[in-house]
Amino acid sequence: MELHILEHSLKVASIAKEGIQICTHGLIKLAFLPSKTRCKFFSLTETPEDYTIIVDEEGFKELPESEHLSVAEATWLALNVVSGGGSATNSQPIGVTKIAKSVIAPLADHNISVFMLSTYQTDFILVRERDLPMVMHTLSSEFTLLRVINGETVAANSLGVTNGFVKPKLVPRPIIHPLSSPSNMFCVTSLDPDTLPSVATLLMDVMFYSGGMKEPGASSEDSGHIRFFSFSLIEGYISLVMDEQTTPRFPNNVLFTSASGELWKMVRIGGQPLGFDECGIVAQISEPLATADIPAYYISTFKFDHALVSDERISGLLRGVVLGTG
């Protein structure tokens, strides 16, 4: 298989809930008016804590400076595993559990932190730009390494990035974070970019104005229900993650969903904000899922990580990993 190192230099940022209105103009431009920017990689995920943004340097220029905007210090690069000669976003999805043993676990064992973004189309593994030599050294025996430069794919080993490289040492991964599972189920879907204008008003309402309101008749029994919505527009491809209560708000035949209408159970990782330096967080979940052959999506956010799994066996599996009560 091939490992593509995409050319986007990415920023990861958090917008506090109380400050979202300050950034709404720029976010709408990035999500709904891509022709007005040169942004090629944009993702916005709302959780109960905040909004997480992953955006390339061109897109980051659209966001105003604000005390409500926190930006991770590092610049990140996106990696994508491709089975065959397809491009990152139009190839068949590999699945986070399919790359757990070949990508995620080796990087964790070599003390390389990753930030995951699964989409409807594919899975992106974000690594800090300064870690790229270690990443290449760690994965070169398993993958053909290719790098995208000005839209062209070239052999990554011709770039001389490993000059003076010192082989990293294997490190233990003793930390196991608590897990919790909200009560609502989620749908991973997409839509044709040409239909985006027809649902733009609805999407804006879901993204920016639906978060803090309880549904009529909601009771304390709904305490396990969390707010989670993710929108990604990456190289022209749209991906959406929403709960089953939000999906019916969209017109029929707009969303791309499987014939079975498959819903996914969420697992939240972390009892407190995780930070960016620790290694092995993604591996903690993806390795046992891979061993059990359970498919999954995985979305990292600024404070917590989230896995979406489709199998009822997850309940027993999570007890073996350490299930929190959160």
Residues 206-263 have pLDDT tens digits of 999 875 444 444 443 456 889 999 999 999 999 999 999 999 999 988 998 765 568 8
186: its two tokens = 């989620």
Mean pLDDT is lowest, of 28-32, 135-139, 268-272, for: 268-272
Q: Taking Cα atoms as reference points, which of 313, 280, 316, 277 lies closest to residue 295? A: 313
- What would the DSSP string read from start to end of 165-181? --PPPP--------EE-
Which of 290, 235, 242 minimizes the C-alpha distance to 266?
242
**pLDDT greater at residue 162 or residue 237:** 237
pLDDT reported for residue 323: 46
Instruction: Tell me which residue of 192, 189, 314 sits closest to 262, measured CA to CA.
Output: 189
Residue 223: partners with Cβ closer than 8 Å, 6 or more residues away: none
Domain regions of the chain by residue span: 1-209+225-325
pLDDT of 306-317, one tens digit each? 999 976 667 666
Q: Distance (Å, rounded) from C-alpha 110 to C-alpha 105?
A: 9
Architecture in CATH of 1-209+225-325 = 2-Layer Sandwich (3.30)
What pLDDT does residue 319 have? 60
| 135: nearest Cα among 96, 106, 171, 99 | 106
Identity of the residue numbered 70:
S
